[in-house]
Every structure is written in C-alpha cells, then in structure tokens.
Structure 1
Amino acid sequence: MSKKTRNVLVTGTAGFIGFHLAQLLTKRGFNVLGYDAMTDYTDVALKERRHQMLAQHANFRCVTDRLEDMDALSQAFDGFEPDVVVHLAAQAGVRYSLEQPRAYIESNIVGTFNVIECARKHKVDHLLMASTSSVYGSNTEMPFSEQQKCDTPLSIYAATKMAGESLGHSHAHLWNLPTTMFRFFTVYGPWGRPDMAMFKFTKGILEGTPIDIYNHGDMYRDFTYVEDLVEGIYHLIGAIPPGPEEIDARSALPENDSISPVAPFRVVNIGTSTKVRLIDYIEAIEAELGIQANRNYMGMQPGDVPATWADASLLESLTGQLPTTPIETGVKNFVAWYLDYHDIAPMK
C-alpha cells in the first residue's frame, strides 16, 4: 500500500468484518473513520463492544448514522477527506432477505449508491466494496471464477449485491473511479454475527437445542477465516485497478485478471480455494466443545445454494498470498472467543 494513504473510511465498523479490518488498519498506523448505523438486525450490545475496542486506538473515530442519509454521509466524507474507502456495511443474510426484502434494497442499493457518489465527489484513490459469493447464484461450474457470468441470483440479498457491482462498474467507467469489488466466501471467526452458522451451531450445541442442518448436511462451503480475509483486503487496497488507457498490453496484467476493458474496475474472490463439507465443519465444532450436537436435518432453504468454492488465484496473483488458516484452528479460535465472551467455562 502507498505510504501516502493515511485516511481510510470504512463503513460497517461495528460489524464483524469491518471491526476486524478497522483493527488491522489502526494497528498499522492508518487513520480510520468508521461509519455504522448500529441497526438491531443483530445484537447491538455486541456491536457496541466492537466499537469500544476500536475506540481504544487514538487513530480511530466513528460516525453513527445510516448510509441512506446522504447529508450525514457527505458530512462524514467532508470532515475526514479519505484517501481510500472500504465499503463493508450492508444488510446481510440470505434467509432474512425472504422476510424483509425492502431493507436490502435500501441498504445495499441506495446506501451503496450514496457511498459511491461520495467517493466520486472526493476523488478517492481507491474505492473497495464488499460483494458476496452468493452472486454466483445457480452457476454449477466450480470453483467459481471472477470471469463467470453472474446473471442468475437466487436471493434478494444476492441480487442487491450484484446491483452494487453494476453500480460500481458504471461509476468507474463514467468517472474514472478506481474500484475493486471483493466476493467473500463464508467468513467465520471470533466476534462473528449471531445469525451466522458457526455462532448458531455453537450456541445450540452448548444449550442442547437442535441445530438446523440444511439439505441434510449435503452442502459444501469455502470457509474463510476472518483474519485471513481482512489481510487480503489490506493488500488489495494497494492493488489499484488501472484504466484502459494505462495498460499498454494485456500481458502486463495477471493472465486470470478480471479487469474491465472499459473501466478501472476489477472483481476479486476472497476465499481459500478449498471446499469443506458442512458436516465436517459441524464435527469440528463438536470436537472443540466436547459435545455432540442434537442435529435437525432439513431440506434446502429457499435462496440457498448447495455449494460455494472459490477460485482465489487472482487474489494470489495480486497480493502474493492466500488464506491459510485451517478450519480446525479457526473453529478453535472462535469457540475460545465465544466461551470467553459469554463467560462460559470450557467443556473439555
């Protein structure tokens, strides 16, 4: 990353991934402005704890407001003058989008448009925005690569994230705004959201309540440990996508690059390039807790997909690294955090 990049505005810093990224950036000496609405979709107390930890860093401050409030967002940009923007805030979750689709339109489309507009007006060096592996929708060719078409989303959540990618590309083309979209693959780890599978599985196993296992456990995910993921984001900040006029020959780029032919815009998968069976994931949690789960096998949830698996070779080409934390280590770290956070004595 360029040494001149000092001010990084991160949306969603009270959230799971935003918290970890802000922590990494502040520890490495960058000034971080967090922007978060502190919505009650997930536990507000957990969000407050994350921000309390970030507030211990002198180079972190935050604004509490909604992305849909353009005036408030513009004021935050004006007062901070960011060099880089990392947009992570979103209404997350496939299943919740079945119940509250309008929340996804407002946050993930209107809110994202406002972030892009502010980044354009302030001529930031690089805008980076979170997408999701869910945009691959009904695609069956795996591992998923950035060159695949993504025109068959299976959930409102996926559709809104794909819309964010389209908005990002059009702005990059029209206004020469360097933009990187990253597609996350099943992120997990300490300080995770209560609606995420690992959190719900761990809670259910400890309480002895049934845990819902969709598609009868015949599912695969590319589980990505959160610290590996934010390290990848950190290195991508400095991998600014060039515009068409800056490239003398396509051979100057990675062979597998997703760079747009008409804009300084690229999409990057952040995953491990390894798929793990859902049952193996659950068994790793059981082994760490020393308790057998009460399993409730169910059919496929509407909007869900049976497998996700990333081709992360472009990430490796651009950053020189891939996520490496084994699932056993990641599960161990999450369980240790969960027990400590909830003041539960270890079972084993």
Structure 2
Amino acid sequence: MTVLVTGVAGFIGMHVADVLMAAGRAVIGLDNMNDYYTVRLKQDRIAQLQAIHGGLFSFIACDFADNAALLAAVEGHAIESIIHLGAQAGVRYSLENPHAYVQSNLVGHVNMLELARHRQVRHMVYASSSSVYGGNDSLPFRVEDRADHPVSLYAATKKADELMSETYAHLYRTPQTGLRFFTVYGPWGRPDMAMWIFTKKILAGDPIPVFNHGKMQRDFTYIDDIVAGVIAAHDNPPPDDGAGKAGGSRSPHRVYNIGNHKPEELMRLIALLEEACGKEAIVDLLPMQPGDVHATYADISAISADLGFQPTTPIEAGVPKFVSWYRGYTDS
C-alpha cells in the first residue's frame, strides 16, 4: 500500500507518515516547504522521517496548488490512497494574507480532488478544522450543527473544502473523510501555536500574550491521539451503495470531529506549562483578537461509534511531553 501524504513536513503530516511507515506502508510525501514558519523545522521533520524509515519514504518538494507540478510529482507513482493534510494554516494569518488561503486551501484542494478522481484512489482523508463552527455558542460542537457563519477566511476555506469534497463524492463516487481537528499539540508542533509560543516565552522570561483576558477554552488534543484517529479513518473508507450519479443516494463522504472532548481553561494550560518549565509565567492580558472564538469543544460521538476513536492523553500528561521535547530540540 502506497499512501500519498500532503503537508508531510508539517506537524500532523510528519506524525501520520511516521506511523504509516512504522506499520510497513510506503509513503510518498509532498510539501512545498513554505516559510509561513521556520523552514528549518520542516527540514528537520523530513530528516527525521528519512533517518528512521529510509526506503519506505519518498519525499517530493512540490506545491500541490500548482496542478502541473502536482501531476509531474506523482507521475509514475502508484497511489492507493491519499491523506491530504497540506494547507495554509493559521486563523490570524488569514487576516493578513488572504490570497495564500485561496491558492492553497481552495485551488489546492480541487487539485487533490481531481487527482483522487482520476487515479480512482481507494480513499481520500483530508484536513478540515474546528474553525468551521465560527461563533457557534452551542457546546459541544456537533458535526450536525450549522457551520455557515465562519469568523475567519481560514475557516471559510475549510468549510468550502468540505462542500467540494461532498460534490466529488456525489458525482464521481470518490470515497472521502473530512476531519475537523481541534487544537492539536505535541512534539514537533508548530511555532505559531499557543503551546510553543507560551513555552518559549516562559523559559525566556518574556511576557506571554493571553487574549480575551484568559477567558478562553480549548479542546487541546495530543498528537498521538490525533494520529490514531487519522489512521483509523484512513483504514475505514465510507461505504458507497453504488447508486449512480443522479441516484439521490448518500455520497461516500463523512465528516468527523476529532478532538479530546474535554475543553480546558487557558489559564489551566498556563499553570501546567509553568510547572513543566519550572518557571512562573509573566502574563500579558489582552482583548479578544479578530477571527478568534471563546471556546472549542468537540462532540466525538460519531467518530467514536464508527471508528472506535477515543483520546487517551490528558493535558496533564501531554504538556510535560511537549515541554521536554521543546527543551531538547531548542536546547533551552
């Protein structure tokens, strides 16, 4: 089985590829290695995969939003399934650079759908986001909830991806699963995420920015739990009843929340970081940022019932693991 993983130099992509190859599956990894955050971290992730997995791993530097480059990159490679994790990430950055999101998250997603369609892959799993729920104040967030009031362009592109995937599943019977990720953290995480920013600043003795005066809740989900859910989804394509294009049947397309099902107060996270770092945080209380939401909380009943997904890592265990990795990686 050869799996195409996009965003393989990214946080989740690296871990998913690692687990796939540990199980003996060959991985073709694509990533454009952009400089949204330090390229060195992405290079180090790729080097780690190459060192551990050798011949099972083929890395190709490629921007999947460039369709000609994408087709050239995969030419001659047999692909059984796709895990499409590549995207322009970040809620706040979408306020500054909207065109990057349109290119990567919309144009790029269509390119991957076309590839999946023409290669007739067994299954395409793709990354959505809890951001699609926007200002929804009904907790926990359920997949059945309306998600048509996004509060950032990033969220709007992720919802658009879900709609385009539904169309392709209906028209071409391309099996797909969309995963709405909830605040993922852990070793090899992203420098633009709160866990990294807070840890770096606490260790350096710098103030940490705490928005909405700390009155925030997040469904922090440890990377190992996320990867287990991604692999379970990958290995269980949605069923297709075989009806024709106009048959009016349910499309082979599912969307799941994938989170910890336990929202945590932001100040609780900071307390755990202080304990793991052995240092008190200097807190800079700030107002709410545009595009942000007060709370995220995943209802995971659907993915639990269908795939047996059950997160096992509380933040009391996950936060020290991240801090330990961070200190080793940055020599802090």
Same fold (TM over 0.5): yes
2:176 corresponds in structure 1 to 179
CA distance in 1, matches of 2:323, 2:98: 32
CA distance in 2, matches of 1:102, 1:283: 38
TM-score by length of 1: 0.92
Match of 1:227 among 224, 228, 240: 224
Match of 1:302 among 290, 305, 316: 290
1:189 corresponds in structure 2 to 186
Alignment length (residue pairs): 326
Q: How does 1:30-45 map to 2 (within 5 A)?
A: 30-45=25-40
2:88 corresponds in structure 1 to 91
2:217, 2:296 within 8 Å by CA — same for their partners in 1? yes
C-alpha deviation, 1:74, in angstroms: 1.3
CA distance in 2, matches of 1:81, 1:128: 17
CA distance in 1, matches of 2:118, 2:34: 27
Match of 2:303 among 315, 322, 341: 315
Match of 1:285 among 269, 273, 295: 273
1:255 corresponds in structure 2 to none
2:91, 2:152 within 8 Å by CA — same for their partners in 1? yes
- Determine if the alignment matches structure 1 residue 16 to structure 2 residue 7: no
Percent of pairs with identical residues: 48
Runs of 4+ in 1 over 2 A off after TM superposition: 75-79, 243-246
CA distance in 1, matches of 2:251, 2:16: 27
CA distance in 2, matches of 1:210, 1:195: 16
CA distance in 1, matches of 2:316, 2:61: 36
Query: Any unmatched runs of 5+ in structure 2?
Result: none
CA distance in 2, matches of 1:333, 1:233: 21
CA-to-aligned-CA distance 1:37-74 (integer Å, 9 cap, x gap): 00000110010000001112120011101111111211
C-alpha deviation, 1:94, in angstroms: 0.6
- Determine if the alignment matches structure 1 residue 271 to structure 2 residue 266: no
1:76 corresponds in structure 2 to 73
RMSD of Structure 2 on Structure 1 (CA): 1.2
1:138 corresponds in structure 2 to 135
Instruction: Tell me which moved more, 76-85 or 176-185.
Output: 76-85
CA distance in 1, matches of 2:170, 2:221: 31
TM-score by length of 2: 0.96
Quick one: structure 1 residues 199 and 180, their matched pair in 2 at CA, closer, same or farther if it must change by over 3 Å? same
C-alpha deviation, 1:77, in angstroms: 3.0
- Determine if the alignment matches structure 1 residue 118 to structure 2 residue 115: yes
2:167 corresponds in structure 1 to 170
Q: How does 1:150-161 map to 2 (within 5 A)?
A: 150-161=147-158
